[in-house]
Structure 1
Amino acid sequence: MKSIIKSLLVVLICTFMFASPNDINARDRERHIDKRTITIAADYNYPPYEFADKNGEPTGYTVDITNAIAEVMGFEVKIILTNWQEAYKGLKTGKYDVLQGIAFSEKRAEHILFSSPHSIANQSIFARKGAPEIQSISELSGKEVIVQNSSIMHEYLKEKIPKAIPIPTATHAEALRLLASGKHDFALTANLPSLYLSKELGLHNIHPAGRPVSGQRLGYGALPKNEDLIALFSEGLAILKNTGKQQEIYDKWLGALNEPKVQWKKLGQYALYTILVLIIILGAVTVWSAMLRKEVEKRSRQLKEQQEQLIQADKMTSLGVLVSGVAHEINNPTGLLLLNLPILKDAWHDILPILDEIYEKDQRLTIAGLPYPRLKSELPFLLEEMQMSSERIRNIVNDLKDFARAQPDEVVHEVDVNKLTNAAIRLVEKSIQKSVDHFTIHLDQFEPTIIANPQRIEQVIINLIINACDALQSSKKVNKTLEISTNFSLDKKEVYITIIDSGDGISPEDLPRLTDPFFTTKREMGGTGLGLSVSAGIIKAHKGRLTFESELGIGTTVTAILPGIEPAEISE
């Protein structure tokens, strides 16, 4: 027994003798971190990155990232919500261990250690509507510019544009309210949080007035004495990225922009195969619709029982084809474009000084077969057009996916009629462009709201717009106009969705029959006679009514009237 004890003592002594000081210090640091809770400061009003929820608890993208890192690295965190100036000051004084959403700058890096970035935040110049547009941040010189106190843009303004007059505020929300109230000239704030807050606060008189300022890298920051904490957070971020957890959190709060790569050649093949499938499906749907029409004509007594089937058939005809699978394939390359284009923009801005130096030495410099001065002037606009086009593709595909998603009739909730109308217009925009010379849309500024199944009401709007486009396309008039509007009634109890076309009009004897099943004046054009019948049934099911006014040679007005919700009821 004594010999065993002696052997154990020898092993322990040897272990301590041969263990390196670095190993012992690393273990000490790990035990120290394990024993304490890391205090992290965050901005209480910086959505969707970090903010307080309705219960006052921390939430948002960076909050979820922090909690995920703490879980995977095995330590505890305490997130303190405060305004940004107090958070930044608390980091410098040692009150807080880490800031979780601090933007990197060379000046800050002189006294703060930064982790690898967890996101990129663009900054924008906001102005009141009607104010002159500005093209660059340099035009803020001599202007009163509202900024968040101690933010990266506050520092940037003082350093890069000394003649600008900064007006510091505690939060983004306070900055936007101040601008909306008519005070000062501009606000220089983070783009996504500002758009989020302006919508939430109902600040409809402000908008981004110029191109976004180049993106800022957001990450974790700590004092040099807490270098071990920054190493932990950087390692945790790497683990989250490699396991896909960061992408999952990013998609939850900021949208899926980093999709798997798809080769353009394969994308072209997918598109070709998809078109062929769509043609086959469209032919099948057309044949099936014709067969269904004959069956319903024979069994009109069973029209009520077959209503849902007719609605789905008409919905598929309006949409053209089933689009969910196609939408997913389109979203992949679109997401890739939206992710990579900002990187290309930053890369172009970074390389410009080098190219300018080369061009000064050699005036014959060409890139991609173009003279350098021409490329320098045109490339930024090309990149901007690509960004806007990619966002447009994503919005249209999302609208198609929402429209095609099956949803029971009993699923109803509050619906913003303006948003629903805009979505329907996007889906049939091609038909409008082909048929209309002048298109106008007037949406009620009081944002009329109804209780409805959004897919069904969107289906009605699409049917009415397509009918109007068909009438205009068959008309021989020179100036073809289409007007779409939404309005509250004077007593705010009804909502009107109105479509007015300047087609040839409908004869008085046909007006009473417009909603009869299978009645159509477009039989030779492939009309089924189901669109208006189904639309009228949907509106009636929502306790509304569909009205028609038409005059031969003048045009047609169709109005969907639905029970509205007063603004006071919404706020309650």
Structure 2
Amino acid sequence: MKTRTLLTLLFVVRSAFVLTRICQHLGAKRRTAVDRSIMANVEGCFEAVRSEASELRCFLSLFLIVSFFVFGFFFPGNCSAETDRPVIRVGSEIEFPPFALVDESGQPSGFSVDLIKAVAEAMGLSVVFESGDWNKMWNDLVSGKLDVLPIVAKSTERARLVDFSLAHTETFDAFFVRDGSPILGTIEAAQGKTIVAMRSDAAHHELLELNFQGELMLADTIPEGLSMVAAGKCDAFLCSKLIGILAIKTHGIRGLTAGPPIPDYKRVFSFGIRKGEDELKEKLNQGLLIVKTGGQYDRIYEKWLAFDDPWLRYRKYLLLGLPVAIVIAFGAMLWSAMLKKLVSKRTSELAAKNEELEHTLTDLIRANADLEHFAYVASHDLQEPLRTVASALQMFEKKHKGKFDKDSDQLIDFAVNGAKRMRSLIRDLLTYSRLDTQGQSFTAVDMTEVLDRSIENCGSLIKEKGTEITYDRMPTITGDPLQLVQLLQNLIGNAVKFGPAVSSKVHVSAQQNGNEWVFSVKDNGTGIKEKYFDRIFVIFQQLSKKGPFHGTGIGLAIVKKIVERHHGRVWVESEVGVGSTFYFAIPNRICEKKAILG
């Protein structure tokens, strides 16, 4: 208002100045146009005219100034009307895309923000936004600090605390679980499990109203809840399926699967209004109908939500391209007819190739079996002569060591150690070749007994290194008991061997993850570089042959083969200088292939 008054005043002063200059210019032209002699005779007349012009200028200036103030008083204009608009305080979530979020400049944005702005404009209301997480915004609305929350799922419990406008949007909830875990399609299926929901969210309230029987964990935001499931801290996260999928994509969260929409349960979004504000509720209802009727709602919906409905987003382009599509389809039919014969010919050729590949695969299977049999026979038959050589070398060392020079004694040590290493290598190779052919049938196995036997078998090494062995409670699983002992024995033995010289620690744990048990053997040893994670499970691969303890390079290959026979998986996580953790996962139920007993 002040700015408008100043500009008008400047305009009036400028107008008066221009009128003055015009009168002066007219007087000058008259003086130059009339003969000097005549001017002398009519000078008095001009003086009268100038006097009248001056009076006219003063009158016009006074008239404009008075008109300005009168106009400004009786017709204040839009500026005054703008400041007289009722102001409503509106809350907006910071992490509920695409319905509510914060843009790059830190301002509230999203579908619900644009919708409440449009409704407020239609009803002559001014909006002041406040942003925060959902729990804070909801509590502020209930306590009366806010007038409106533009995106609230209506429920019986919430209706006791706040009022609701007409519905403006609907969405459907689903459970998000880790990849490989059982899909949860109903609330009943989630009973007894650990479920996470966003604090004070509709899912949170719904579970409480249904008297959910299970552990309920709460997160402040949807990305936080999804990350908790991905990290294995809980079984599932319940939220809007649309918003959950968008959050996974936006934040790059991996390893999650969305279940189907939960039947007989959906979110009906409305404006949440401070309790008792009946007039505001009616205005928002009417404004919402105006926005929907005028087509503005559809434009806002298409802006924020149409990308999840390809038809809504590309409808106009598809309609324009329909004639072209018909022509292309007709051409494709002709082309398909031409290709039909060619496809038939190629199919016959592929059938012949497949038959050839099947013969090749059969030959490879036979060759692999022959190779395993050869490895078994070779390692078995080599043991006896090698045992004789090793015994002879040990007797020679015992009888003659110290009788020769230093170099000769060193050569004897090399020979004896080489024979021992060869014997260990053949023994491990024999074990490796027997894993598939001489494995036992799968039965129920108490992993506590398996762990005790594995620790007992490594007793001498554990005592020599002074390693502290700890473990959690072990489950009962299905498997080959002897091979499971070999599996844990190899992992514990490696952890002890490559642990620190002092304060060596090894911890064995087991945790159920969906339909499988995940076991881990953790040490505080030297650690392994990431580039070697796959290499260490390959037969005859050793990262280092230095130090007092070294193996044959078959131990971890045996571990991998045992786990694969149990239809599981094995992997390692490690940090150099901190230690390593070897994991292996075995399903709860194993459909064992027919064992070949040797």
Give the TM interval when normalised to the shorter protein. Answer: 0.3 to 0.5
Compute the TM-score of the two structures, normalised by the length of structure 1.
0.42
Task: Give the structure with higher Rg (CA).
Answer: 2
Compute the TM-score of the two structures, normalised by the length of structure 2.
0.40
